[in-house]
Amino acid sequence: MIRRVLIVSFALSVAFAGALSAAEKAAEPAKKKPTAEKPMPEASQKTKYVFRANNRRDPFEMQLGGGDTVDTLVVPKILTRKDQVAKVAQCEKWIVEMMAYKAQKKYDRVFDLFGQVTKAGTLITEPDLQKKMYAIRDRSLGMVKDLENGALMLAARRVDEALERMRSAFEAENYDKVLSEYEGVQTALKKIQMRNSGGSMASMAKKLKLAIAAASELNRRAGIRAEFLRQVPSIGGVFITPHKNAVIIDGKYVEEGKKIGNITVFKIEKVNNIPHITFLYKGEHIVVRKKP
C-alpha cells in the first residue's frame, strides 16, 4: 500500500515539474529574429566616413538632428604647384593690362582686374610663389589707390551729367527718358559706394548728396506722370464761363475742382485760345492740352 502511494506521489511530482517548466517557457519573451542590416544609402558611401542607416551623430563633427546620412565638411581645393605657377603668371599679365587700362582711363576695368588679382592671391600656398604674389598685389593696390579719387570724380561727373539730361527731359515732358537716365545715375552711385572703402567719398559728399536727392526726386515725379499718361482720360467738350468751368471726361460732366476716380480736375483754362486742363494725380499737377 505504502509502495503504491510513493509511486503515485512521484508521478504527480514529475507531472507538476513538467507543467511548471512549460509555463515558464511560455512566459519568456519571444526572441527577435536577426534581421538583415539595412543597406547604406548611396549618398553616404561618397563621404569620408562610413555610416549605417541608424547613425544619428558624427563623433568627429557635430550633433545631428536626424536623417540617414552626414554631410562632411567641404575643404577648399588646394591647387597643385603647377596650377599655382600658372595663376601667378596670369596675375602678372593682369598687372600689365591694368597699366594699359589706366592709360586709357578705363578705370572700371582696372578695378575689375584688381578684384581678380586679390581673389587669385588667396589660392597661392607655396612660400616662394606667395612672395611673388605679395609683390604683384602691392603693385595692383598702388594703382588702385592712385585711381580711387579719379574714379570717384568720374562717377560724380556722370551723376551731374545724367541729372542735367533728366531735367531737360522732364521739361520736355519726356518722362520715359527721365526714368532711363536715372538708371545710369544708380549705376554711377553703386560704383561710388564700391570705392568708398578708403573714405575718399567724404570730400565730395555734400555735392553728391544734393545731386542724388535731385535725381531721385525727378525720378519719382516722372514715374507718377508716366503712370498718369498711360491712363489719361478722354477729353470731350470744355466749358469755360464766368460762373464755373467744366469738362467732359470719358463721357461724364465734371466741374472744376471735382474728382473722377482718383484724378482731380484741378483747373480749366484757355491759353492762346487752346483749352488746358490741369489734373491733380498723386500730388502732381499735370497739364493736358485739348486738341482742336
pLDDT at 198 over 90: no
Question: In the prediction, which pLDDT does 52 show?
Answer: 47
Question: In the prediction, which pLDDT does 257 show?
Answer: 92
More confidently predicted of 235 and 191:
235
Tell me which residue of 273, 276, 272 sits closest to 286, measured CA to CA.
276
Contacts of 289 (CB under 8 A, 6+ apart): 274, 275, 276
List, for residues 115-161, the tens digit of each pLDDT value. 899 899 888 999 999 999 999 988 988 887 777 666 667 777 888 88
List, for residues 39-70, the tens digit of each pLDDT value. 544 444 444 444 444 444 444 444 444 444 44
Query: What DSSP line would sit under 57-77, residue for residue?
Result: B-TTS-B--S-S--PPP-PPP
The band of 18, judged by pLDDT with boundaries at 50, 70 and 90, is low
Distance CA 31, CA 25 (A): 12
The band of 289, judged by pLDDT with boundaries at 50, 70 and 90, is confident
pLDDT at 6 over 50: no
Domain ranges of the chain: 78-227, 231-289
Q: How many contiguous H segments (helices) and E segments (strands) does the chain have?
A: 6, 7
Portion of the chain with pLDDT greater than 70, in percent? 65
Task: Give the CATH number of domain 231-289.
Answer: 2.30.30
Question: In the prediction, which pLDDT does 88 show?
Answer: 94
Q: Residues 120, 136: contact at Cβ < 8 Å?
A: no
Q: Residues 279, 266: contact at Cβ < 8 Å?
A: yes
Q: Residues 204, 153: contact at Cβ < 8 Å?
A: yes
Distance CA 58, CA 230 (A): 62
pLDDT at 205 over 70: no
